[in-house]
Amino acid sequence: MSQSLVTAVRIDVPDEILVGGRWRTGAGPVLEPVDPATGEVLARIHGASTADVEEAVAAGERAAADPAWRDLLPHQRARYLHRIAELIDANAEQLAGLQTANTGKTLTETRALVASAAGTFRFFAAALETHESALTPSRGEYLTMRVHDPIGVVGAITPWNSPIASDAQKVAPALAAGNAVLLKPARWTPLVALAVGRLATEAGLPAGLLSVLPGSGSEVGDAIVRHPGVGKVSFTGGTETGRTIGRYAAEKIMPVTLELGGKSPTIVFPDADVDHAVAGVLFGIFSSSGQSCIAGSRVFVHESIYDTFVPRLVEATQRLRVGPGTEPGTQVGPLVTVSHRDQVARMVDTARAEGGRVLCGGEVPDDPELARGSYYLPTVIDGLPNSARTSQEEIFGPVAVVLPFTDEDDLVVAANDTVYGLACGIWTADYRRAWRVGRAIQAGTVWVNTYKQLSVSTPFSGTKESGIGIEKGRQGILSYSRQKSIYFGLNERPLPWAGIG
């Protein structure tokens, strides 16, 4: 990284964004990312304007069509991804520190996310080198094959909860497929995307192939989505925003990947290993302070163990260490902003109004040392039906709703009774039951006796209102490619229809 971005807690970020290959001051409004542990403004950066988006699209179109990029063989293009991965690794501590400062996540989490981002660039470099076109079975006097072309300019719009991982998840396969990328990070958390942009520049990625355009979604994000020169948008964020983007995509007849919200069930059967289940439920809902699309936020517990399991869960929740992400041992950091924390608090008030019992948490911590940060105590609520707002709406904070169940068939109906379909956890010693229930649950990912384990080699997707399209996995490159079929005529004589020859 050319500039030292983190010096202890002081952040030294130049007021520059990456527009079409040039680092310069953005023409949009100033963004003031805040450290959620202290409330301090970390940096002042002019974001992008719609004119900056225009410039980035034009530069991206030129860069993607330039033979110096377009004609690279796969193993040559892969080298750029390897170099970016190496630079991410070499700057891992700074990147993790920066992400912890800007999101409040613990250093343990951000170190893992940085390592995973480097792994994502390496994985897609390897996927690119081994990506095969196919000869399809011929049904006539011709040879048929399918190949994949780049789309051109791709928009990548990411949320604030895990910036470096969601940025890499889009930028790496999009570049691997031969595109130029406009990356728009969330306005609260632009710092890591800008740092990754610096590393891509340092890696020698040709100018214009990556633009980093922080700014508001309603202006910069909207301009990217609606621009005629943008041929695909890959979006991660809330379902309502995804719906808006989907409408514009329909007007443009443009492919989209939408990774959206969730309200995922975690199911504890009576034969579950209780230690594993408690640890998994806690990790599933309270890591990242619950600010995770795949958070296991609806915990279904079999009635026969409800009265023993729930008190254990509550006791273990109360023992979680809440504090700054920089402090070793912290398990639950602050929420991303005060306004988001207050929104979570309002949802817990809604639960109370709906008749829910708050078994622990349900308030901000009274520790004076945490008073400046946007903290909220890990919260467990029961006594609500599955139809309650708190059981149905994504809270995106450290709030678990616990629901008893009796019958397996009824459980599957209740677990699927949500607009979302992102993830599910099943805790049981009976693998036949795990298979049965896992297949019946409507979700993109099912974990059995584990939770929130993610691997770039395994596809990730949502169903129902949790999204469309697939990220990760070897085939992830295809999401950023146009499929093309080619027929080579092998007939010795002219085609018969015209009656020639």
Q: Is residue 202 among the annotated active site residues?
A: no
218 binds ligand NAP (CB under 6 A): yes
Angle between helix axes 303-318 and 274-286 (nearest 10 degrees) is 60
Q: DSSP string spanning 249-275?
A: HHHHT--EEEE-----EEEE-TTS-HH
244, exposed or middle or buried, with CB in 10 Å at 0-12, 13-18, 19+? middle
Residue 156 beta carbon to ligand NAP: minimum distance, rounded to whole angstroms: 10
Give the residue, chosen from 160, 269, 375, 480, that forms a contact with ligand NAP under the rule CB under 6 A: 160
Using CB atoms within 10 A of its CB, is residue 319 exposed (0-12), middle (13-18) or buried (19+)?
exposed
Q: Is 261 in the site for ligand NAP (CB under 6 A)?
A: yes
Judged by CB under 6 A, which of 6, 267, 293, 381 binds ligand NAP? 293
- The contact mask relative to ligand NAP for 404-433 (x = CB under 6 A, - = no) is ------------------x-----------
Measure the CA–CA gap between 209 and 28, rounded to whole angstroms.
21
Q: Which residues, in sequence order, are CB contacts of 141 under 8 Å at separation 6+? A: 489, 490, 491
Instruction: Please name the helix (run of DSSP H) or strand (run of DSSP E) that holds residue 370, with its range, or none.
Output: none
Active site residue 471: yes
Q: Which one of the listed residues 170, 184, 232, 472 is annotated catalytic?
A: 170
Token pair 């995307």 is at which residue? 193
# of chain residues touching ligand NAP (CB under 6 A) = 31
Tell the smallest beta-carbon distance from residue 181 to ligand NAP (Å): 14
Does 157 sit near ligand NAP (CB under 6 A)?
yes
Question: How many Cβ atoms sit within 10 Å of the Cβ of residue 360?
Answer: 18
Among 306, 396, 405, 447, binds ligand NAP (CB under 6 A): 396
Q: Which is nearer to ligand NAP, 234 or 331 (CB)?
A: 234
Active site residue 363: no
What is the arrangement of strands in the sheet containing 22-24, beginning at the earlier edge strand?
A: 22-24, 17-19, 210-212, 180-184, 153-157, 232-236, 256-259, 467-468
Complex with ligand NAP: residue 222 or 382, whichever CB lies closer = 222
Residue among 236, 289, 330, 379 that touches ligand NAP (CB under 6 A): 236
For ligand NAP, give the closer residue by CB, 335 or 360.
335
Contact criterion met (CB below 8 Å) for 98 and 192: yes
Judged by CB under 6 A, the residue of 33, 60, 150, 159 near ligand NAP is 159
- The yes or no reply on residue 259 touching ligand NAP (CB under 6 A) is yes
**Site for ligand NAP contains 394 (CB under 6 A):** yes
d(CA 344, CA 501): 77
Contact flag: residue 262 with ligand NAP (CB under 6 A): yes
Q: Is 424 tagged catalytic? A: no
264 binds ligand NAP (CB under 6 A): no
Instruction: Count how many Cα atoms sit within 13 Å of the Cα of residue 155 in the half-sphere of its side chain.
Output: 31
Catalytic residue among 61, 109, 259, 394: 259
By the rule CB under 6 A, 144 interacts with ligand NAP: no
Sketch the per residue contact string, 458 through 477, with ligand NAP: x for CB under 6 A, - otherwise: ----x---xx----------
Reduced 3-state DSSP string for 316-350: HHHCCCECCCCCCCCCECCCCCHHHHHHHHHHHHH
Q: Which residue is nearest to ligand NAP (CB)?
A: 217
Q: Are 46 and 187 in contact (CB under 8 A)?
A: no
| Binds ligand NAP (CB under 6 A): choice among 14, 238, 404, 469 | 238
Contacts of 485 (CB under 8 A, 6+ apart): 136, 144, 145, 146, 147
- Per CB under 6 A, the list member of 77, 83, 105, 184 interacting with ligand NAP is 184
Contact residues toward ligand NAP (CB under 6 A) are: 157-161, 184, 186-187, 216-218, 221-222, 225, 236-238, 241, 244-245, 259-262, 293, 394, 396, 422, 462, 466-467
Q: Which residues belong to the active site?
A: 170, 259, 293, 471
